[in-house]
Structure 1
Amino acid sequence: MSRFRQRAVLTGCVLAAVLAAAGLFVTDYGIDPDLWLTGLALGFLALLAALDPWLHRRRAAGLATDDSLDAAANALALALHAQWNEECRARGLHDTALDLHWSAIQGEPGHSDAVVRAFLRNPRAVFLGEPGAGKSTTAMLLTIGLLDRRVDDPVPLLLPLSTWDPGEEDVRTWMTRRLYEDHPALRNTELYGSYAADLLVEQRRVFPVLDGLDQIPADQRADALDRINRAFPGSQPLVLTSRLDEFVEVGTPVVGAQVVQLQPLDLEEVAGYLRSVSDPVTAARWEPVFLHLRDEPDGRLAEALSTPLAVWLAGVVYGYGEPSELLDRSRFPDRTAIENHLADLLVDGAFGDRGVAHQARASQVWPRDKAARWLAFLATEMRRRGVRELGWWELRRSMNSLWLALLGAVALGAIGGFGVGWLMAYASTPRWAPITGLAAGLAVAVAALYASGHRTPKPRLGVWRSLVVVSGVLGTAAGLVFGALYGLSAGLVVGLGIAVAVALRFGFASSAELSHPSSPRWTMARDRIAVWTGSLVLAVVFGAAAGLVFGPNQSGMVGLGLTCGLLLGFTLSVLHLRWWWFTVARIWLALRGKLPWELMVFLEDARKLGVLRQAGAAYQFRHALVQDRLAGVRPSQVTSDA
């Protein structure tokens, strides 16, 4: 729904809950509570009817139109532009950046500022290079440059190929799934119609910028490239990056694409960059290294410092250290030893130093040994699953699925059952409290077990899109049951409460903020807001119900009802949200010392310190080399798996 309707629904839900609670006290002024609650329920349904997109815009039940897809593409372009610009700033590419050199296998050499112009002449390109040569950075800068110049052109969608399994998904299906995951507002059927992301891909209003063909398993690369060629044939826009050797081994060309190879950095530019990112004292320490590079321009150290990754690592880890140790041939006999040493020092130098944390604006100084252990656990888990992205919602996969489901179900069942049992213990039938609490707990636990499966939400169809119909039907059904058991007032309050809860579910089901840049913290914040808003509203509703049913003249019952309603509302709000299952996994892993308690804060600080980077709603290690070193992978394993 639109942002206005979304806010209006949320405001109406809060007002309905507050006014329902106020119905407890208006009886002192001679107002019949049944009449009050009946009028409130009818007014709430009338508000939902006025705001219901399904009633007023029936076209929203159909496929997205050309106009709605244009709006979706424009909003998506704004979100991606903000997202990648922010990531570019976080990596320091706006302030001090190495000028990447590239040369076409068939064409003239150039610099990174010419990549966008070259792509506009031929919108199919393959960027090749050695590990750390800047392929991902080039793809990101190209994406930003194309978004800067975009008018009505297709939107460049930068995606890591490490998240695609060619044996399980078609490439376009994978792109559609990633769009929904990173930009959930595309499910907003009122603004964009049904299947907006599917149609954006199908009608080629977005085009793929695919990073890291080498990250697909070797036995699947040929099939993956063949699928990409068939999905995006001819002159349709396409960008692909890969390591040089892995691309050559596949032996399948990208039809019509200009093949571009990133070149080693110029040693004078390397020296200039390292001086620019160092204070005068540190810059002086680099001079022996620069002299060595001039004397041995083809030596092991010059070869190691020929990539942007290695140069950036050197600038970071030797910000306060002694870079002349790199001249020790016995410690660092070849390029690999130097690169591994720099990657190891990145993690050691990023944590445990107050000055570094302050400069990076990290929230706190994390202990070096614990930070390394936590990152090693994450790197090992990512390698076990064969992924290069760390989505917070995927943390659940680091636990046994059955154990996760049982822990989550038992916890929610205990919370919900305790809330119901505690309320009944002070109600008119306290002897039924244990049985009622146990039954409620079992019901919640069973629902949690069912919800623990990792399911992709499907768009509602037909009348199930109607805000007022679904809320009215479910609220009426619950109200009739409670009314028969406890009287008209209780039925009205509980029925209104269920209608409010369903309306909240609609209000939070899809975000109207498609133009908002995606990030891990933002996607999690949406789940948290849904949890606590739903919990508080249901707390007010159940508090009113408890006061009316069990103690109309006892103010203490209202407070008890509020507390118990908060507990039960929490259990009902989190059942189908990724945040709950992430929280269960996070707490379990923190208890075992595998991860910190403040995991999201730690990950964001690791990003500020340069160990991680952000890709949409997920994190990645700054480079595959850093992840592999933390996972304890030997160079031979990296080569064979890449």
Structure 2
Amino acid sequence: MTTGAEGAVVRLGVSAARPAWRWIRPSVSHSSLAGYADELADDVRRRETALRDQLRAGPTDPNLAVEITVRTKTDTTPVAVARITECVQGLRVRRVLLLGEAGSGKTVAATHLVLGLLDRRRELGDAARAAEPVPVRVNAAGWNGEQLFSRWLAERLGSDYRLHRRVAKALVDAGLILPLVDGLDEMESVEAAHAALARINEVPWRHRPLVVLCRTEDFEELRQQPGGARLVGAATITMGSFSHEQIIGYLKQRQTDDDVADDAWSEVIGQVERESTGPLATALRTPWMLALADTAQRHDPEIASRLARSTEADDVRARLLAEQIPAAVDGRDRDGPYEHYDVDKVTRWLATLARRLDERGATGGDGTTIRLDEVWELAGPVRCRALYGLVCGLVALLGLLPSFLVAVDEEPSWLDEGWWSWLGLAFPLVIAIPVGWLPDVEGRRLAWRIPGRSWWRHALSRLWEPTWLAIIVMVVCGVFAVFADITAVEAVVLVALALPGCLAYALVRVLSVDSADKGKLIMHETRLVRDDATAAAVIGALVAVAIWAGFASADRLGGEPDGSLLAPLYSGGYFGLVAVMVYGVATGRYLTAAVLFSIDESFPDRPARFLEWARRGGLLSVSGDAYQFRHETLREWVKANTPS
């Protein structure tokens, strides 16, 4: 090759390596962070706009008027506003605690606050915008309060918006993120929420701008914890409920719209006027319930008459909660991935979820929540296990067939040499049966570091099993060498075959996260299956490399390859695939369930997408890293209105 050609190859290699290196280790200079912040702002705007549009037809209409109270340490002032979208306009305090009862409009207010701050940020010049933080709403449900807030926030940004971990951490450390922490009331326990609030009050966040959203009653419970609960330096916004005059005014205004009959709400208006503190006025006092009533009227013109005849506030709420599904469906993207969602399908899917939770509760399991790596149970636990085990067995069998055919072709009498000759053919059964009937397993996860634990101490505590395994392997090889009368070289070959596997096992043990350590890591309800798939892929790759290294080393030490049944590359790939199937049981069952769902349509074939859509639409909520029905009434309603 000429010098010019060599230079061209080098330049081509450098050109290809530069973007790869930027992807592996992106720049976090001041100018680079400004660009990343602008890109994040665009992503946040798209997501919050979609949520705003969904909520507009959903459980809270953003045009409803509310009364809020802004309270600081020195001032408590009721502020009447024309619309819920204006509840945060004009607020000069940068740290805000936003409280309100269920349905009072906290999420809508947060969404419009994010979009308003993004609009203001976009109007700034380049230099000022580079220093202006990006408002981002994050869900605290998967946080246990043990991790530092900065670390948890960076992990959440990376997960929600696919930011590189290095970039997310740099944006947080540089103060370019203004977090709106939603779901404090959805955390696993009061103690976790209390610990999370304490983390937020630590330096450097003690003096940084942020917003925390929580239900009023849940925050009052936090106040009862030892040491109390507060957001240091924050103004408290309490979103109030409607008076009966506001309810009447809104319904009268709706009757002037073209899509509503002139007397559509006459009976309800009359009932609220007669009993200003009665069950109907009590039930309709939150923006959420009033918006649901409006949505119900569009689907059922007779709903107003039934509401007016209700004698209990709970009866009114129950009737309106049944309208959550039409409300959520109305707010979906007509041309997006949810275009095939309709009221009947969503109702059927939620009924499937509700009945499975009932079955789990009846057998002593968790009857209120379900994680993403447990969704396969909705397809029928027995058939899903059996089908996945069958698939694993078939894959294992098909992977072995080429090798057996080659062996038989080269030595036809091979299968007649003894019972052990058939052992390989039984290997698929050895895989299929245990994999198919393993007990319920959580999604696996690998992590290089566990917060609050020394890496070296953790690694040493996990290495004793692999160490003893390696010692046993060498002892067995030595004993075999003595009694089988093999040469020292052949004994070394046996050790070379086994030791790479021991090393791979040692690495897997060090990286694997057990149940006790999972609570110390940041969990994300939408990533459980993805984390399990990643862990299975990494473990499979380690097994493949270990098998390849073992056979390659044995061939090198023992002389030329002897044409064994499984060549190094083939055997490594095969056993790597088997390891993926064995270790990725949660992922495999999830994918198997998705196939079954596409056939019987008892649940959507993209379960993760549906569960997250239902959460954003107010049908489900998140508790820790699991989904649950936001209201028990909705759960009972979907079961009662869907055939078994």
Q: TM-score, length-normalised on structure 2? A: 0.57
Q: Which residue of 1 aligns with 2:42?
A: 78
- In the alignment, the residues of structure 1 paired with residue 621 and residue 630 of structure 2 have an alpha-carbon distance, to the nearest angstrom, of 14
Structure 1 residue 568, shift from structure 2 partner: 11
- In the alignment, the residues of structure 1 paired with residue 293 and residue 597 of structure 2 have an alpha-carbon distance, to the nearest angstrom, of 33
Aligned AA for 2:147?
E
1:325 aligns with 2:303: no
Structure 1 residue 454, shift from structure 2 partner: 2.1
Structure 1 residue 81, shift from structure 2 partner: 0.8
Q: Closer, same or farther in 2 for the Cα pair 1:280/1:259, shift >3 Å?
A: closer
Aligned AA for 1:270?
Y
Structure 2 counterpart SS, 1:598: coil
- In the alignment, the residues of structure 2 paired with residue 173 and residue 395 of structure 1 have an alpha-carbon distance, to the nearest angstrom, of 29
Q: Which residue of 1 aligns with 2:314?
A: 336
> What fraction of aligned residue pairs are identical, expressed as a percent?
21
- In the alignment, the residues of structure 2 paired with residue 79 and residue 374 of structure 1 have an alpha-carbon distance, to the nearest angstrom, of 33
Structure 1 residue 372, shift from structure 2 partner: 4.4
Q: Closer, same or farther in 2 for the Cα pair 1:406/1:226, shift >3 Å?
A: farther
Conserved? CA contact 1:314–1:342, under 8 Å: yes
Aligned AA for 2:50?
E
- In the alignment, the residues of structure 1 paired with residue 29 and residue 99 of structure 2 have an alpha-carbon distance, to the nearest angstrom, of 39
1:303 aligns with 2:310: no
Greater displacement, 218-227 / 363-372: 363-372
Aligned AA for 2:141?
S
Aligned AA for 1:210?
V
**Residue 610 of structure 2, aligned match among 582, 603, 623:** 603
1:624 aligns with 2:588: no
Structure 1 residue 237, shift from structure 2 partner: 0.8
Structure number with higher relative contact order (C-alpha < 8 Å, ≥ 6 residues apart): 1
- In the alignment, the residues of structure 2 paired with residue 148 and residue 130 of structure 1 have an alpha-carbon distance, to the nearest angstrom, of 28
- In the alignment, the residues of structure 2 paired with residue 246 and residue 452 of structure 1 have an alpha-carbon distance, to the nearest angstrom, of 30
Query: Which residues in structure 2 correspond to 1:365-380 (within 5 Å)?
Result: 366=344, 370-377=348-355
Structure 1 residue 76, shift from structure 2 partner: 1.5
Q: Which residue of 2 aligns with 1:128?
A: 99
Aligned AA for 1:87?
L
Structure 1 residue 258, shift from structure 2 partner: 0.9
Structure 2 counterpart SS, 1:132: coil
Q: Closer, same or farther in 2 for the Cα pair 1:421/1:242, shift >3 Å?
A: same
Which protein shows a greater Rg? Answer: 2
Deviations 1:304-329 (A, max 9, x none): 11111101221223323322112224
Structure 1 counterpart SS, 2:169: helix
Conserved? CA contact 1:87–1:614, under 8 Å: no
Query: Which residues in structure 2 correspond to 1:344-493 (within 5 Å)?
Result: 344-347=322-325, 362-363=340-341, 366=344, 370-377=348-355, 392=372, 395=375, 411-421=391-401, 425=405, 429=410, 453-456=443-446
**Over the residues paired in the alignment, what is the CA RMSD in angstroms?**
5.5
Aligned AA for 1:107?
T
Conserved? CA contact 2:351–2:635, under 8 Å: no
Structure 2 counterpart SS, 1:366: helix
Q: Which residue of 1 aligns with 2:69?
A: 103
Q: Which residue of 2 aligns with 1:584?
A: 592
Q: Closer, same or farther in 2 for the Cα pair 1:256/1:162, shift >3 Å?
A: same
Aligned AA for 2:603?
P
Equivalences, count? 466
Conserved? CA contact 1:90–1:608, under 8 Å: no
**Residue 16 of structure 2, aligned match among 51, 56, 73:** 51
- In the alignment, the residues of structure 2 paired with residue 73 and residue 142 of structure 1 have an alpha-carbon distance, to the nearest angstrom, of 18
**Residue 224 of structure 1, aligned match among 188, 196, 199:** 196
1:208 aligns with 2:179: yes
Conserved? CA contact 1:209–1:240, under 8 Å: yes
Q: Which residue of 1 aligns with 2:266?
A: 287
Conserved? CA contact 1:98–1:269, under 8 Å: no
Which runs of 5 or more residues in structure 1 are unaligned?
1-42, 188-193, 460-517, 532-565, 634-642
- In the alignment, the residues of structure 2 paired with residue 204 and residue 382 of structure 1 have an alpha-carbon distance, to the nearest angstrom, of 45
Query: Which residues in structure 2 correspond to 1:150-161 (within 5 Å)?
Result: 150=121, 151-152=129-130, 153-161=132-140
- In the alignment, the residues of structure 2 paired with residue 173 and residue 382 of structure 1 have an alpha-carbon distance, to the nearest angstrom, of 35
Q: Closer, same or farther in 2 for the Cα pair 1:156/1:342, shift >3 Å?
A: same
Structure 1 counterpart SS, 2:233: coil
Aligned AA for 1:238?
L
Q: Closer, same or farther in 2 for the Cα pair 1:598/1:228, shift >3 Å?
A: same
- In the alignment, the residues of structure 2 paired with residue 49 and residue 424 of structure 1 have an alpha-carbon distance, to the nearest angstrom, of 45
Which runs of 5 or more residues in structure 2 are unaligned?
1-7, 122-128, 224-228, 416-421, 450-523, 538-572, 638-644
1:171 aligns with 2:177: no
**Residue 260 of structure 1, aligned match among 237, 245, 257:** 237
Q: Which has the higher helix share?
A: 1
Q: Which residue of 2 aligns with 1:183?
A: 161
Deviations 1:258-282 (A, max 9, x none): 111112232244315654788344x
- In the alignment, the residues of structure 2 paired with residue 85 and residue 519 of structure 1 have an alpha-carbon distance, to the nearest angstrom, of 22
Conserved? CA contact 2:254–2:260, under 8 Å: no
